[in-house]
Amino acid sequence: MELLKKRILEDGVVLNGNILKVDSFLNHQMDVALFNEFGKEFKRRFSDTKVTKILTIEASGIGIATIVAQHFDNVPVVFAKKMDDSKLGNNVYQSYVHSFTKNKDYFVRVSKDFINEGDQILIIDDFLANGCAAKGLIDIVRQANANPIGVGIVIEKGFQPGREVIESLDVKVESLAIIDRFDNNQVYFK
């Protein structure tokens, strides 16, 4: 998506040679008009399958997913909650996630009330790096006997294994911008 790539080049900052900071339009301040363009693009890319619900993960996915949902007939958005321990009660689906970026483990949790058998779930998130978060969400969708119809990502770090992880689970991935590499704190796209 050219508009997004242009924005990343203009406003993104590469930290420590491996983290792209996009706080001015994605992760802290949010550019709603740009999010609407994400919604149009995801709708175009996932137009072949009916979507009944969007699933994301707190925190950064939530704002994006709620705008994107407006382009999918206002389907409900559910966000998975991150928990440090497994004391979650009975009425939840949960999956164990390892974050390489933050070097910690956590559980993602969704109430059983909000994903139903037969739901056609589009998973949305801001970044795809190692794919651990997306893998956990796919696991939760499948526990519920719902169908993960795809994963829609705003920015994919194409040099990390996230895409292979998701595709190995037989789930389609669509990313709006794919970073090939960081070089001298400059961003190069695929």
Give me the residues that bind ligand G4P (CB under 6 A), please.
19-22, 27, 57, 59-61, 99-102, 126-133, 157, 162
Q: Is 84 exposed, middle or buried (0-12, 13-18, 19+ CB in 10 A)?
A: exposed
Of the candidate residues 38, 53, 56, 60, the single one contacting Na ion (CB under 5 A): 60
Q: How many CB atoms are closer than 10 A to CB 9?
A: 13
Q: How many CB atoms are closer than 10 A to CB 130?
A: 18
Residue 100 Cα distances to 19, 110, 112, 135, angstroms: 12, 22, 28, 14
Of the candidate residues 41, 119, 126, 139, the single one contacting Na ion (CB under 5 A): 126
Helix (H, G, I), strand (E, B) or coil at 155: strand
Q: State the binding partner of 7 from ligand G4P, Na ion, none, CB within 5 to 8 A by kind.
A: none
163 token code pair: 């895409």
CB of residue 60 to ligand G4P, shortest distance in Å = 3
Distance CA 110, CA 112 (A): 6
Q: Which value, to the nearest 10 degrees, does the dihedral of the CA atoms of residues 129, 130, 132, 135 take?
A: 90
Q: Which is nearer to ligand G4P, 72 or 79 (CB)?
A: 79
Backbone angles phi, psi at 104, to 5 degrees: -150, 165
Q: Which is nearer to ligand G4P, 52 or 148 (CB)?
A: 148
CB of residue 110 to Na ion, shortest distance in Å = 15
Residue 156 as a binder of Na ion (CB under 5 A): the answer is no
Distance CA 119, CA 55 (A): 11
Q: Which is nearer to ligand G4P, 23 or 73 (CB)?
A: 23
Q: Which is nearer to Na ion, 41 or 126 (CB)?
A: 126
Q: Please choose, out of 37-45, 56-64, 70-78, 161-169, the segment that lies near Na ion by the rule CB under 5 A.
A: 56-64
Q: State the binding partner of 102 from Na ion, ligand G4P, none, CB within 5 to 8 A by kind.
A: ligand G4P
Q: Which is nearer to ligand G4P, 54 or 57 (CB)?
A: 57
70 token code pair: 């407006």
Using alpha carbons, select from 14, 31, 93 the residue that is nearest to residue 67: 31
Q: State the binding partner of 59 from Na ion, ligand G4P, none, CB within 5 to 8 A by kind.
A: ligand G4P
Binding positions for Na ion, rule: CB under 5 A: 60, 125-126
